[in-house]
Amino acid sequence: MRAALEELARRAPHELVGLVTEDWGKRYGRAARLGKNPSKPKTRIKETGEDVRLLLRYVHRYLPDLRDGEQVQALRQIFVQNYFLDAQDRPKWREAEDAGLPPSAVAIVSPYDLSARYARRGETRWKGFLAHVTETCDPDTPSVITDVTTTKAAVHDTKALPGILANLDHRNLLSKEHFVDGGYLSVALKQQVAREHGVGLVGPIRARSTRQSRKGTVFHRDAFTIDWDAKKVTCPRGNVSRRWSTPPSLAPYVNVEFSPDAAVSAR
């Protein structure tokens, strides 16, 4: 709301004389700084929704030449993604369980850059973009940054890695091994990188995040004894697998089956 008012004030300041009130000056005259527990959040949500609806209708009716402003258009989109009009034509705040909210991959979070997105990595949360930094890591030489790639915040790390390696390859900066954290690593990507660039991806395998694993009702791979030569797996209770297979797949894997009488099985 503040960004749209500033844009209108720059383009046609005289048009706001009869619209902007003292209350608007208090609410939007300076940048809002809301903490984790803002005061009177329901009141702020209600007042802002009504103010935005009034401003957008005013611009649409009386200032048609200003409707194409970037901040005015951003305000319109942000209003739609956060509010809906009830049966009495009043703006109401959207909740995920009833009116629905857009996913973070498309939700606008800034009126100044409509491509910025909300993102989360572990405990870190931010609004904006994601920078992927590649640097050398030879123990006997200083570390040198060889590539910086910026992507939208919602783009997964595994989607960004092929482009990063292509940039390095174009500049003849690829190494035989490329060390990454767990977010960039998958079996399929590891094979793709080896096939296309002759580079070995090195990094930690991501832990399984299934509902059963989070509840602790399954055994992890480390609990099993694997005999790769004999193609046998022994479960924590001593049962030996009866079948070992490698189904055809883009990312080859081993499928191990135990007897139905065995109390523990793994894949």
**Quick one: pLDDT at residue 163?**
94
Mean pLDDT of 74-90: 93
What sign does the CA torsion over 128, 134, 140, 142 have? negative
Residue 185 has pLDDT above 80, yes or no: yes
- Cα(33)–Cα(30) distance, rounded to whole angstroms? 9
Length of the chain as a residue count:
267
Residue 265 has pLDDT above 50, yes or no: no
Share of the chain above pLDDT 70, in %: 88
- Cα(189)–Cα(250) distance, rounded to whole angstroms? 10
**Quick one: pLDDT at residue 264?**
47
**Quick one: pLDDT at residue 37?**
63
**Quick one: pLDDT at residue 1?**
93
pLDDT digit string, tens, across residues 210-263: 666 666 667 777 788 999 899 999 988 889 999 998 877 655 678 888 887 765
Mean pLDDT of 27-43: 73
The mean pLDDT value of the chain amounts to: 86
- Give me the torsion for CA of 8, 14, 18, 21, rounded to 10°: 60
**Quick one: pLDDT at residue 208?**
59
- The token duo for 47 is 């007042």
